[in-house]
């Protein structure tokens, strides 16, 4: 396999499927099956999930919520998604541990690097909910931070698009996809991979990022097997 230990960042919005809100059982099952295959291949897996299918703090602030309270609501949304994925994985026979950046036993154990590594070494998939536990930081930033902390080989950003393009492919039919691109070129071109805080954190800590389409069944294993199905960002 291409990687030994991964941090998989999943989009909360992708979990809603076509229904526009909440949780899609079909998407959860698709993700669970792909993760089950990866875990079965001996890959150590940590996962961070967004919460945009339930509540997004920045949008809440625009509707009159206090920004800190809104972000805290978003953190709780990520934990709901973590529990949903845990349930789907357990139904598929996968051993899973939910760790939370906010103390809320018995919903999940309190996150620490040591505990995450211990669980992964024991063959468990580790889902880290609650973002960074701080307002003003996105779940992209949480994914970058956790990838660095658990010493992952790569941050895999599973989205609904199949990589990074020269322009928005939905608006510009001539847009082409990069197979590989440097951090500096992403900056120079002004491309949107993840928020700037998260992206800079990865660059400064030499954490490569692979952006790929997680919604196509089997893509996770294809990527782990070495197929070039997305875009690799590296120094």
Q: Enter the tokens of residue 60.
A: 């809440």
The pLDDT confidence band at residue 66, using thresholds 50, 70 and 90, is confident
Percentage of the chain beyond pLDDT 90 is: 86
Q: Determine the Cα–Cα distance for residues 35 and 18; give it in Å rounded to an integer.
A: 21
111 and 46 Cβ atoms separated by less than 8 Å = no
The pLDDT confidence band at residue 1, using thresholds 50, 70 and 90, is confident
Whether 169 shows a pLDDT value over 90: the answer reads no
| CATH number of the CATH domain containing 60 | 3.40.1160.10
Q: Which residue has the higher pLDDT, 55 or 30?
A: 30
| The pLDDT value given to residue 170 | 78
Of 31, 44, 59, 35, nearest in space to 3 by CA: 44
Q: Which residue has the higher pLDDT, 180 or 67?
A: 180
Domain count, the chain: 1
**Which among 53-57, 67-71, 126-130 has the top mean pLDDT?**
126-130
Instruction: Kindly report the length of the chain.
Output: 235
Whether 61 shows a pLDDT value over 80: the answer reads no
Strand order in the sheet with 209-213: 109-110, 96-100, 125-129, 44-49, 5-10, 154-159, 209-213, 231-234, 180-182
Q: Determine the Cα–Cα distance for residues 142 and 25; give it in Å rounded to an integer.
A: 25
Mean pLDDT across the stretch 74-93? 97
Domain carrying residue 81: 5-234
H or E element: which one contains 109?
Answer: strand 109-110
Of 26, 32, 25, 24, nearest in space to 53 by CA: 24
Q: Enter the tokens of residue 62.
A: 């625009």
């Amino acid at each position: 396999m291409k990687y030994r230990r991964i941090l998989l960042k999943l989009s909360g919005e992708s979990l809603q499927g076509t229904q526009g809100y909440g949780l899609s059982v079909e998407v959860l099952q698709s993700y669970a099956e792909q993760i089950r295959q990866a875990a079965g291949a001996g890959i150590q897996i940590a996962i961070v999930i967004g919460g945009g299918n339930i509540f997004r703090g920045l949008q809440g602030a625009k509707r009159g919520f206090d920004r800190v309270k809104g972000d805290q609501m978003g953190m709780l949304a990520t934990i709901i998604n973590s529990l949903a994925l845990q349930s789907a994985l357990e139904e598929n026979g996968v051993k899973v541990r939910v760790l939370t950046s906010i103390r809320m036993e018995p919903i999940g154990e309190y996150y620490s690097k040591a505990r995450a590594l211990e669980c992964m070494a024991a063959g468990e998939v580790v889902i880290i909910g609650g973002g960074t536990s701080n307002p003003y930081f996105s779940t992209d930033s949480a994914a970058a931070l956790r990838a660095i902390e658990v010493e992952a080989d790569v941050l895999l950003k599973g989205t609904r698009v199949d990589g990074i393009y020269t322009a928005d492919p939905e608006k510009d039919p001539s847009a082409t996809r990069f197979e590989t691109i440097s951090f500096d070129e992403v900056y120079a071109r002004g491309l949107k991979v993840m928020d700037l805080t998260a992206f800079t954190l990865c660059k400064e800590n030499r954490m490569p990022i692979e952006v790929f389409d997680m919604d196509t069944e089997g893509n996770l294993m294809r990527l782990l097997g070495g197929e070039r199905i997305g875009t690799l960002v590296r120094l």
